[in-house]
């Protein structure tokens, strides 16, 4: 009888202790959840094929990463992205570019054949983390290719670094800052892609017989 009472007390104590443990929380961007409406002019557009965003280093996981004041990396135990951040970044990038590009329809790679004239976008993120002083930090490099005949030609590449301060403390505020910073990266990319389109439209208009394989894009 005494053993039963002790065992029962241990179960009750364990239940109380478990209830006091911090609950696991998941976070996500908001823009990727917005429906992509069909555009009437999409039939006349060429395509921007977006490869899955590649994430390097400690941030290549679902747990949220922070950089501490002593240069150490903290990996959260109870705070996670709702999915691997490479999916979050890729989906939100497509949704953002969808509303900003003038002559290209963004689609995930492998969803449609890459035709001559289409663009391909690769992005490598080497850091996406919270920072004890700067707030949100997102850095990396993007590469834009154009399919000319049967080959992909690198048109442009650039390194980006975006820091966004937090409006308040907490992981929720950090994810909002990450999203704001990522949208800024997307905005910059859309301007570059629209610029590339204008350059090639001008070349085709002025020199329709020009062999684009011999054309060196001006960075």
In tens digits, what is the pLDDT along the chain, a chain of 219 residues? 443 343 333 333 344 444 456 799 999 998 754 545 545 555 557 899 999 999 999 999 999 999 998 889 999 999 999 999 999 999 999 999 998 998 899 999 988 899 999 999 999 999 999 999 999 999 999 999 999 988 999 999 999 999 999 999 999 999 999 999 999 999 999 999 999 877 655 444 445 545 544 444 444
Q: How much is the CA Rg of the chain, to the nearest whole Å?
A: 23
User: What pLDDT was estimated at residue 73?
Assistant: 94
How many angstroms separate the Cα of 123 from the Cα of each of 10, 126, 142?
Answer: 52, 10, 4
User: Dihedral sign, CA of 112, 116, 118, 123?
Assistant: positive
Show the tokens assigned to 198. Answer: 């204008």
pTM: 0.80
d(CA 27, CA 171): 8
Q: How many beta carbons lie within 10 A of that of residue 17, not counting itself?
A: 9
Nearest-CA neighbor of 185 among 96, 67, 78, 70?
A: 96
- Residue 77 tokens read as 């135990």
d(CA 135, CA 167): 9
Half-sphere exposure of 161 (CA within 13 A, CB side): 1
d(CA 112, CA 165): 38
The predicted structure's pLDDT at residue 199:
66
Q: Which domains does the chain have, with CATH numbers?
A: 40-207 (3.40.50.10610)
DSSP 34: S
Cα angle: 177, vertex 182, 184; to 5 degrees: 100
d(CA 66, CA 215): 44
User: What's phi and psi for 118, nearest 5 deg?
Assistant: -75, 155
Phi, psi of 51 (to 5 degrees): -70, 155
């Amino acid at each position: 009888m005494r053993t039963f009472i002790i065992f029962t007390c241990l179960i009750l104590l364990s239940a109380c202790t478990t209830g006091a443990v911090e609950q696991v929380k998941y976070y996500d961007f908001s823009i990727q959840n917005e429906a992509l409406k069909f555009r009437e002019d999409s039939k006349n557009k060429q395509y921007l094929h977006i490869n899955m965003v590649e994430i390097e280093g400690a941030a290549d996981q679902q747990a949220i990463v922070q950089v501490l004041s002593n240069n150490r990396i903290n990996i959260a135990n109870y705070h996670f992205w709702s999915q691997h951040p490479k999916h979050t970044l890729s989906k939100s990038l497509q949704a953002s570019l969808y509303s900003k590009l003038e002559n290209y329809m963004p689609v995930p790679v492998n969803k449609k054949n890459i035709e001559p004239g289409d663009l391909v976008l690769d992005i490598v993120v080497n850091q996406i983390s919270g920072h004890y002083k700067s707030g949100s930090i997102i850095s990396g490099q993007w590469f834009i290719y154009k399919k000319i005949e049967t080959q992909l030609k690198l048109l442009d590449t650039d390194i980006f670094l975006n820091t966004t301060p937090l409006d308040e403390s907490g992981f929720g505020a950090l994810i909002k800052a990450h999203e704001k910073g990522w949208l800024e990266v997307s905005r910059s990319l859309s301007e570059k892609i629209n610029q590339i389109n204008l350059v090639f439209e001008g070349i085709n208009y002025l020199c329709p017989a020009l062999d684009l394989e011999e054309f060196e894009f001006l960075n």
